[in-house]
Amino acid sequence: MGSVFGNPFWFKLNSQREIMNTMTEQTQRKQEPEITPEVIADHGITPEEYSRIKEILGREPNFTELGIFSVMWSEHCSYKNSKPLLKTLPTSGPKVMVKAGEENAGCLDIGDGYAVVFKIESHNHPSAIEPFQGAATGLGGILRDIFTMGARPIMNMNSLRFGSLDTKEAKHLLKGVVAGVAHYGNCIGIPTVGGEIYFDESYSGNPLVNVMSMGLLKHEELSKGAATGVGNPIFYVGATTGRDGLGGAAFASKELTEESTEDRPAVQVGDPFKEKLLLEACLEVIKSGEIVGIQDMGAAGLTCSTCETASRGNSGVQIDLNKVPMRETGMIPYETMLSESQERMLIIGKKGKEKEVEAIFEKWDLHAVNIGEVCEGHMMRVFEGEKLVAEIPAKALADDGPIYIREEKEPEYLKETRAFDINTVKEPTDFNETLKKLMDVPSIASKSWIYEQYDHMVRTDSVYIPGHDAALVRIKGTNRGLAVSTDCNGLYCYLDPYEGAKIAVSEAARNVVCVGGHPIGVTDCLNFGNPMKPEIFWQFHQAIDGIKDACNAFDVPITGGNVSLYNENPSGAIYPTPTIGLVGVLPDIELRTPSAFQEQGDVIYLMGETFNEIGGSQYLAEVQGVRAGLPPKLDLEKEKQLYKAIHQSQQKKLLRSCHDLSDGGFAVALTECCFSESGKSLGAKLDSLGVFNEGEVRKDALLFGESQSRVIASCDPENVEALEVVLKETKVPFQKVGVVEGNRVQMDKLIDLPVSELEQIFRQAIPRRMETQS
């Protein structure tokens, strides 16, 4: 589990420095602060929750216990504001081996005795304060979630959001976050093969850093995080414990303010080389058969790992903090239990096999220290030598936290955005200039400045480098592949969170289908503002419903993920951003389909129908300066028919390329199809824009509208008849719009530009801004 950044007392931002000074003095004296109403409130614990804590314990908690309850009852660990809605999501299916919430990550069977483990999480608040370490440790945390299940990580993805790239702040954050992801991923030797990135003022001061990882294992290698077997030893393995990350289980349950830079000590410090050793040692000890359980020390460190393993195992645990390897002196139990120092794991060994476990970790030059054992009963007991410093029922922490049904209210701003009238927008007089302006929008433009900093070829299994519709990796030793996409349009979700979330799932699935994958599962990272505000919780509820309906329609279960709330800066909340990570399987990787045109003379098709929709589009926002209207409507049945048509065409080897239409619409997608990673860019000559209702759709909607369930595909002229048979049988609307020809983009006399000019704009949009002083 990654960092929770929830609510301990010193992150009450207005009084932080004073309390930290007090804490330092008391730590040096090995004393704990007195529990007062102010300290309780600063831990984010309400009076009602505190009364419940006293009922559970049958007494007043001490300071360490108060901190433990604070982090375990925070939103990240307990999902106290979101659990009732999360339970409505589809989580079951024939391929599901580990369901959402059961372990650190979800696990799906992919056939032939193999399974994939994958998950996406956020590290938003720490990245806002310290972008390099925030992003690096976010990636380190999600990787531990994968290999603690026994899976070897094979790829990473990310989904990033920043403010306008024309600002100094956004450039600083982008540089730091990308450097952090690159540093950790490159050093540990796991390729970062794709993702997405948006720039919008909504995310100013509160960037979103969502990282996803996927691992591969054989069924028999699956390991779980349960403490079972009375008398079995509990091992602390990995790096030493310090004060870095202390308070991490608090920070994100508060909105960011002008004083948030003072919270820099809350950001953890990562060591990817140490994690590489930990990865190899953990996979080896799992395969040795000498352990019964393993759990990442992520959120709240020892606290979360001990109580969660005990709860899953329906047992008790006890540990001695004097045995925990430390790198700082004078730490009190509160600090040791809540520290989020990185690269650490908790292992439940087999009694009598202690030396074998220790030998494996010694081989990898890591600590493996027996700090306790599994006990009868259901209590988590923490000792400091012979002194009992915490005694709490494990399930009260891990499973029985408070649950709230928050008030909902439709936001007032929607009355204004829904009143948008398309007829008030004048069509451009120069569509060439409009296309060039869109190709220069950082959210649309090439992300090569970012992904070229990542080693996306390490492990030699990457089939498609970043830039295709979906990332694609080979399953080593087989002819099978795995396709992954991360997607979400926050502006769509701002204008209609239900439709926007539904589109996020659909676009992720469409991207996977375009390269040849069959969608099998979803992980989500739900980024929203303060749930205590009725308007924010309404957005959250609507988005959950959208995700649910799309996943049910495509028959893909949610395998797990992350809820990240309180994403607000002094100006307000971010756009609701339910990021979707979707995984698909390619039974035969030789049937993959690239995104770009491949050969001169190929015939170009538009599959799907275009409507008079420009609401929420990049064209309306970036060219017309209007963020209003309704996002395009998505018909789930039409979307499914499109997938069917694409899959059947791929199986018959009828497609040379396939690229989905999203941001920027038809004109942008067609232009992107002309750019080739091999360097042999191709032109396109179109005599049609694929409209079925001539006169009913505006030219700007035809070119730049973002109607859903559409792709641009190309095929060999010899396959035209066979392709059209498939499209007619699957009842997918289509039109033959032109041919791959020459070196210009020509669209029905409306656009005529050299591919080289458009490509230059596309590839330089982000580097040009990064090199310009704001």
The order of strands in the sheet holding 558-564 is 462-464, 471-474, 481-487, 577-586, 518-527, 558-564
Cα 131 to Cα 208, 301, 392, distances in angstroms: 11, 21, 36
Which one of 43, 123, 456, 468 is the catalytic residue?
Answer: 123
Q: Which run of H or of E encompasses 97? A: strand 96-98
| Residue whose structure tokens are 């976050």 | 177
Cα 717 to Cα 257, 644, 736, 739, distances in angstroms: 59, 22, 11, 9
Give Cβ neighbours of residue 401 (< 8 Å, ≥ 6 apart): 72, 73, 77, 78, 80
First and final CA of the chain: distance in angstroms? 38
Check if 541 is active-site: no
Check if 647 is active-site: no
CA distance 676 to 251: 44
Q: Are 198 and 444 in contact (CB under 8 A)?
A: no
Here the tokens at position 155 are 């790829």
Q: What is the 3-state secondary structure (H, E, C) of 232-278?
A: CEEEEEECCECCCCCCCCCHHHCCCCCCHHHHHHHCCCCCHHHHHHH
CA distance 546 to 497: 8
- What letter would DSSP give residue 404? -
- Going by C-alpha positions, the residue among 501, 437, 598, 543 that lies closest to residue 85 is 543
Q: What is the 3-state secondary structure (H, E, C) of 468-521?
A: ECCEEEECCCCCCEEEEEEECCHHHHHHCHHHHHHHHHHHHHHHHHHHCCEEEE
Q: How big is the chain by its Cα radius of gyration, in Å?
A: 26
Which one of 43, 76, 468, 659 is the catalytic residue?
Answer: 76
| Residue whose structure tokens are 């990350």 | 245
CB atoms < 10 A from the CB of 405, how many? 9
Active-site residue list: 76, 123
